[in-house]
Structure 1
Amino acid sequence: MREAEAQVQNVSKIGRLGELFLQKGLLTPEQIDQVAQLQKEKKLRFGDAALALGYLTQAQLDQALGEQFGYSTKSLINGSAAPSLKFFYFPFSKEAEEIRRLRSELLLKFSAQEKIKLAMVSAASGDGKSYMAASLAIALSQVGKRTLLIDADLRGGSLHEYFSLGKPDGLSSVLAGRIGLSDAFIQLMPNLHLLPAGPQPPNPLEILRAPRIRELLESCSDQFDAFVIDTHAASKASDAQMVAHQTGSVLLLARTDHTYIDELRQTKADMLAAGVEVLGTIYNQHEDDGASGLAPFSWMFRLVSRMFRRKN
Structure 2
Amino acid sequence: MVLKKGEKKKVLEHKRKLVTKNDPKSPISEQYRTIRTNIQFSSVDEEIRTIMVTSSGPGEGKSTTTANLAVVFAQQGKRVLLVDADLRKPTVHYTFNIMNTSGLTSVLTNQMTLMESVKAIDMKNLFILPSGPIPPNPSELLGSKAMDYFMNAALEEFDIILFDTPPVLAVTDAQILSNKCQGTILVAGSGKAEKEQLVKTKELLEAAKGKLLGVVLNNKKMKESQHYYYYGVN
TM score, norm. by length of structure 1: 0.65
Flag as ranges the 4+ runs of structure 1 deviating above 3 A: none
CA distance in 2, matches of 1:125, 1:113: 31
Distance 1:125 1:91 in 2: 27
- Secondary structure of the 1:150 match is strand
How many residue pairs align between the two structures? 217
Identify unmatched segments of 5+ residues in structure 1.
1-78, 288-297, 307-312
- Quick one: distance in 2 between partners of 1:276 and 1:167? 29
The residue type paired with residue 246 of structure 1 is: K
| Structure having greater relative contact order (Cα 8 Å, sep ≥ 6) | 2
Q: d(CA) in 2 for partners of 1:114 and 1:283?
A: 24
Deviations 1:80-139 (A, max 9, x none): 981331111111111111000111111223564255111001011111100100000010
Partner of 1:300: 229
Please say if 1:95 is aligned against 2:28. yes
Task: Tell me, yes or no, if structure 1 residue 137 matches structure 2 residue 70.
Answer: yes
* Residue of structure 2 in register with 1:283 after alignment: 217
* Compared CA separation, residues 135 and 169, structure 1 to 2 (3 A): same
Q: Conserved in 2, the CA contact under 8 Å of 1:254 and 1:284?
A: yes
Counterpart for residue 227 of structure 1: 161
Instruction: Report Cα offsets for 1:25-69 as digits up to 9, x if no partner.
Output: xxxxxxxxxxxxxxxxxxxxxxxxxxxxxxxxxxxxxxxxxxxxx
Root-mean-square deviation over aligned CA pairs = 2.1
**SS of equivalent residue, structure 1 residue 82:** helix
Q: Which amino acid aligns with 1:225?
A: D
Question: Displacement of 1:212 after TM fit?
Answer: 3.2
Q: Is the 8 A contact 1:214 1:247 kept in 2?
A: no
**Greater fraction of residues in strand:** 2
1:172 equivalent in structure 2: 105
Contact kept? 1:211, 1:246, Cα under 8 Å: no
Query: Radius of gyration: which is bigger?
Result: 1
**What TM-score, normalized by structure 2, do the two folds share?**
0.86
Distance 2:56 2:89 in 1: 15
Instruction: Tell me what 1:256 maps to.
Output: 190
Identity of aligned residues (%): 29
Distance 2:230 2:53 in 1: 14
Contact 2:184 2:211 in 1 (8 A): yes
- Structure 2: segments with no counterpart, 5+ residues: 1-10, 222-226
The Cα of 1:233 is off from its aligned counterpart by 1.2
Structure 2 residue corresponding to 1:149, chosen from 60, 74, 82: 82
**Change beyond 3 A, Cα 1:199–1:286:** farther
